[in-house]
């Protein structure tokens, strides 16, 4: 996910948010109107259908592309967070209405030149704030989604990649692959909010991607080649490393209830790891190449694996024992390498060259236990 490393190695309430987002979009934008409203076709369980196409396309710039990277769904905000690269904005989308709100001023704007090495490319939400990184200025920005203003900024030691909030510790973790570390900041319970440096976690050979498992007091990240590491949230130390079967480790996702950790391999593969049994590989399945940001729907037990090489998103079923099966395909756009899923069984996929988000209804049935 990190451009520098891949070149080298390849609290707002729900009701309050909905009112804010609906006013922001309906007053100033036309995105409340649907694009292509054609319904996706259904597929029999376990049978791959013809590729399903998006029911809505959301352009985020008047013209040109966007250096998308991380897409993230916040359950507490009930919103998809879409950091929009060199636009200087993080776009928020209500998962029910699809209403859009723009948080801008996070970084300087610039022309899209391919890749995702500039601007704001990762974001998370916690304690009533959006946390966003800016690669261009090497900074962590804290944004109030009610006022849509940056309220505080912290300088980073290296080029940032992922940012994730840990509610149990009131900490923000920022991966910095060029320095092979995760930088940690604490958020004080005061007004105005204050970010304080709390140290760093060494991750030699990484880190790539980051997911938090608060139920087990652990975090997981990949090394660039072939391994995943487990980090104790309490001690901030790497406690375990296990092989993930990837030649190039990229995306990560977690079903905490089942103890299933998912790895996306850049060569075109998805892997299921059993974190309660030493990270044992439960199964794997080949996909098209160019895999990066993956996502799991824990209600449907579906794994979404986008492939930049051909612009498809493989929809895989996940059984309780970790066995993967092919359910079908979503047809996105060539270069689409990032996806997330929301709480309305929708799949959001980035289209970098067009500067758009593609939104799909998942047409496939839930996977039985």
Q: What is the pLDDT of residues 93-121, one digit of tens each?
A: 999 999 999 999 998 776 666 656 678 99
Which parts of the chain fold into alpha helices (H)? 3-9, 14-28
Q: Residue 221 in 3-state DSSP?
A: strand
Looking at the chain, the domain(s) classified CATH 2.130.10.10 span 1-33+66-202, 40-63+207-369
Q: Check pLDDT > 80 for residue 209.
A: yes
Asked if residues 170 and 106 have their Cβ atoms less than 8 Å apart, the reply is no
Counting Cα atoms < 13 Å in the Cβ hemisphere of 355 gives 16
* CATH 1.10.260.40 describes domain 40-63+207-369: no
Question: For residue 112, what pLDDT is reported?
Answer: 64
Q: Check pLDDT > 90 for residue 344.
A: yes
Q: What is the mean pLDDT of the chain?
A: 87
What whole-number distance in Å separates Cα of residue 314 and Cα of residue 326? Answer: 8
Name the CATH code of domain 1-33+66-202 (choices 1.10.260.40, 2.130.10.10, 3.90.280.10, 3.40.50.720).
2.130.10.10
Q: What is the pTM of this model?
A: 0.87
Long-range residue pairs from 117-120, CB within 8 A, at least 24 positions apart, any chain = 117/3, 117/4, 117/67, 118/67, 118/85, 118/86, 119/67, 119/83, 119/84, 119/85, 119/86, 119/87, 119/88, 120/83, 120/84, 120/85, 120/87, 120/88, 120/89, 120/90
Question: For residue 115, what pLDDT is reported?
Answer: 57
Which residue is listed with tokens 């998912």?
Answer: 262
Other Cβ atoms closer than 10 A to 206: 28
Which residue is listed with tokens 């250096």?
Answer: 67
Which parts of 57-134 fold into alpha helices (H)? none
Question: For residue 114, what pLDDT is reported?
Answer: 60
What pLDDT digit, counting tens, does each position of 265-322 carry? 999 999 999 999 999 999 999 999 999 999 999 999 999 999 999 999 999 999 999 9
Q: Check pLDDT > 90 for residue 138.
A: yes
Cis peptide before 207 (omega within 30 of 0): yes
């Amino acid at each position: 996910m990190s451009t520098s490393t891949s070149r080298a190695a390849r609290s707002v309430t729900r009701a309050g948010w909905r009112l804010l987002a609906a006013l922001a979009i309906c007053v100033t934008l036309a995105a409340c109107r649907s694009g292509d409203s054609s319904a996706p076709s259904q597929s029999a369980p376990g049978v791959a259908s013809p590729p399903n196409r998006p029911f809505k396309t959301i352009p985020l710039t008047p013209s040109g592309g966007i250096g998308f990277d991380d897409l993230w769904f916040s359950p507490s905000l009930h919103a998809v967070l879409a950091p929009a690269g060199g636009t200087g904005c993080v776009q928020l989308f209500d998962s029910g209405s699809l209403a859009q709100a723009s948080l801008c001023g996070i970084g300087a704007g610039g022309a899209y030149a391919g890749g995702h090495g500039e601007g704001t490319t990762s974001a998370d939400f916690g304690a009533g704030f959006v946390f966003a990184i800016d690669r261009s200025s090497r900074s962590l920005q804290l944004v109030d989604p009610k006022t849509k203003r940056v309220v505080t900024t912290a300088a980073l030691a290296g080029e940032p990649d992922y940012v994730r909030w840990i509610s149990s510790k009131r900490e923000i973790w920022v991966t910095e692959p060029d320095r092979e570390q995760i930088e940690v900041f604490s958020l004080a319970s005061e007004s105005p909010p204050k970010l304080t440096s709390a140290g760093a976690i060494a991750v030699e050979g990484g880190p790539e991607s980051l997911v938090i498992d608060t139920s087990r007091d652990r975090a997981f990240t990949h090394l660039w080649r072939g391994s995943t590491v487990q980090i104790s949230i309490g001690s901030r130390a790497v406690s375990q490393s296990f092989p993930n079967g990837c030649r190039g480790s990229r995306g990560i996702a977690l079903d905490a209830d089942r103890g299933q950790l998912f790895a996306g391999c850049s060569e075109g593969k998805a892997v299921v790891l059993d974190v309660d049994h030493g990270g044992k590989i439960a199964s794997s399945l080949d996909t098209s190449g160019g895999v990066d940001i993956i996502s799991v729907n824990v209600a449907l037990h579906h794994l979404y694996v986008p492939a930049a090489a051909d612009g498809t998103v493989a929809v895989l079923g996940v059984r309780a024992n970790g066995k993967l099966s092919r359910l079908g395909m979503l047809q996105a756009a060539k270069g689409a390498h990032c996806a997330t899923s929301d709480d309305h069984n929708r799949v959001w996929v980035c289209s970098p060259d067009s500067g758009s988000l593609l939104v799909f209804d998942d047409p496939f049935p839930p996977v039985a236990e």
